[in-house]
Structure 1
Amino acid sequence: MKKLIFKIIRLSGLPYLFRTLVQKNKVTILVYHEMTPEVAEKNFLYLIKNYNIISLQDFFKAHQSKNQQLLPKNALVITFDDGRKSNFQLLPLIKKHKIPVTIFLNSGIIGTNRHYWFRFKQEKYTNEELKKLSNKERLKRLEDLGFKQEKEFDTPWAMNKEEIMEMSKWVDMQSHTVFHPILPKCDDQEASFEITNCRSILEKEYGFNINALAYPNGDYSIRDIEIAKNAGFKFGLTTEKGFNTIHTDPFKLKRLDPNDTANMDELIVKSSGILSLFG
């Protein structure tokens, strides 16, 4: 049914109208997580044909200088969250198409055999239920089921340091906290650790220039923004639907989620931002 709905919306011509009218003078930021090279190639080829893909840092330069002339029409930024193992497989495509990409890394998971809590297989709680708990309570319940965020498992779920350093020659690496908690569910000490330490680790151990934080799950509070500012961040990215301009609050940048889709109708509809009209 969803596929049919996306096809109907695409054939209606509304995505085209959004691209030519609404997105024309905006900056669209997409967030991906995990795609096979085959799916990524389909996504990239469509985006290259219909948008002017720019780097996240180029958008930041235009935003900081408030210079609209630095941005092309239909500007689009591609980002990935988490730094998952499969992201490394996309490097040949990124090099082939010369696509500027930003990957937001969880510093406590990359380079280890630690796992993402939200991908830990258990049948007692849904992720949505766990996201509503305090950080301490979530960790306690997961620990009762055999998961600890510092636990080393048999296989890695995130890229190792060698892969990250190889990708960093072509890919901008930025911050996604240490262990990917729901920041508003953290107490002050936990939130400060997650935000501040991730930036510190990525700069000191990897040599990256970190100026952007992608809030895990897109969730943030005023407190989290203040911590990020005090830690030296200049920008914060949400998962709120919509577009950006040089006047958008730099700590509330919007992103659209194509859902790592292999369905072209879904990609066309979601990347156009037309669904932002419906919340």
Structure 2
Amino acid sequence: MKKLIFRLLRISGLPVLVREFIQKNKVTVLVFHDIDVETAEKTFSYLSRNYNFISLNRFLEACRKKDNHMLPPKAMVITFDDGHMRNYQLLPVFKKYKVPATIFLCSGIVNTLRHYWFRHDKEKIPDQALKKIPNKDRIAFLREVGFETEKEYDNPQALSKAQILDMMPFVDMQAHTVFHPILTQCDDEEAKNEIVQSKTELETDYGIKINGIAYPNGNYSEREIHIAKEAGFTCGLTVEAGFNSIESDLFRIKRLDTNDTGDFNELVVKSSGLLSLFKFPTLLK
């Protein structure tokens, strides 16, 4: 049924209308996580034909200068959250379609054998429920089911340092906290450590300037924005649906989530923001 709905929406022509009349003068930011090469090939082949890729930094520069001329019509920024190991396999696809992607890295997980808590054991770890409880309780529960935040396991889940360095000439690397907690469930000290330490570690380990943070799970508050600004970040990315412009709040950048779909119809509909317009018609303004 879900696939049928997306197919009907695509052939209705509504995604094209949104793309040509609404997205044309906006900046669309998409978020991916862990797509495979085959899905990436289909995804970026389609997107490259219908949108104009720009880097996150180009969008930020246009915002700083308040210069719309720096932005092409149907501008699109591609982002990936977490730093999953399979992201490395996408480098040839990024090169082929000239995708200036940004990957937001969990500094305490990349280049280790540590695991992402939400991917460790799906049968034992109810990740949606754990996102809604205080961080200390989440950590305590994970320990009870055998997961340790800093434990080194037998297999890596995240990018290695060699892979990150190999990608860096083509891919922008930014911060996604240290261990991917839900920041709004952290106490003040935990939130500050996760945000500040991720920036420090990535800059120290990779010799790059970190200016952006993607809030894990999209959860943030005024506290997280204040901490990020104090730490020297210049932008924060959410998973709030919608489009962006040079007037956008750079610490509340909106992103559309494709759910890493391999279904072409779903990709077309979700990348157009059509579903978001159904839910939030004020985005038309």
Equivalences for 1:73-112 in 2 at 5 Å? 73-112=73-112
Equivalences for 1:125-204 in 2 at 5 Å? 125-204=125-204
Contact 1:55 1:100 in 2 (8 A): yes
1:204 Cα deviation after fit:
1.0
1:69 aligns with 2:69: yes
Contact 2:81 2:105 in 1 (8 A): yes
TM-score by length of 2: 0.96
Contact 2:32 2:258 in 1 (8 A): yes
SS in 2 for 1:205: helix
1:97 Cα deviation after fit:
2.1
Match of 2:283 in 1: none
Unaligned 5+ runs, structure 1: none
Listed one character per residue, the Cα deviations across residues 144-163 of structure 1 (whole Å, up to 9, x for unaligned) are 10001101100000010000
SS in 1 for 2:90: helix
TM-score by length of 1: 0.98
The amino acid of 2:226's aligned partner reads: E
CA–CA separation in structure 2 for the residues paired with 1:238 and 1:11? 30
1:125 Cα deviation after fit:
4.8
CA–CA separation in structure 2 for the residues paired with 1:96 and 1:24? 24
Match of 1:269 in 2: 269
CA–CA separation in structure 2 for the residues paired with 1:122 and 1:11? 36
CA–CA separation in structure 1 for the residues paired with 2:45 and 2:53? 11
1:124 Cα deviation after fit:
4.6
Match of 2:117 in 1: 117
**CA gap 1:71/1:187 in 2 versus in 1, 3 angstroms:** same
Identity %: 57
CA–CA separation in structure 2 for the residues paired with 1:190 and 1:93? 37
Contact 1:122 1:145 in 2 (8 A): no
SS in 1 for 2:206: coil
1:277 Cα deviation after fit:
2.2
Unaligned 5+ runs, structure 2: 280-285
Contact 2:149 2:179 in 1 (8 A): yes
The amino acid of 2:45's aligned partner reads: L
SS in 2 for 1:24: helix
The amino acid of 1:55's aligned partner reads: S
The amino acid of 1:265's aligned partner reads: N
The amino acid of 2:21's aligned partner reads: L
Equivalences for 1:236-247 in 2 at 5 Å? 236-247=236-247
Contact 2:125 2:142 in 1 (8 A): no
The amino acid of 2:90's aligned partner reads: L
Contact 2:28 2:255 in 1 (8 A): yes
**Alignment: residue pair count:** 279
CA–CA separation in structure 2 for the residues paired with 1:249 and 1:238? 11
CA–CA separation in structure 2 for the residues paired with 1:27 and 1:115? 33
Contact 2:118 2:125 in 1 (8 A): no
The amino acid of 2:173's aligned partner reads: M
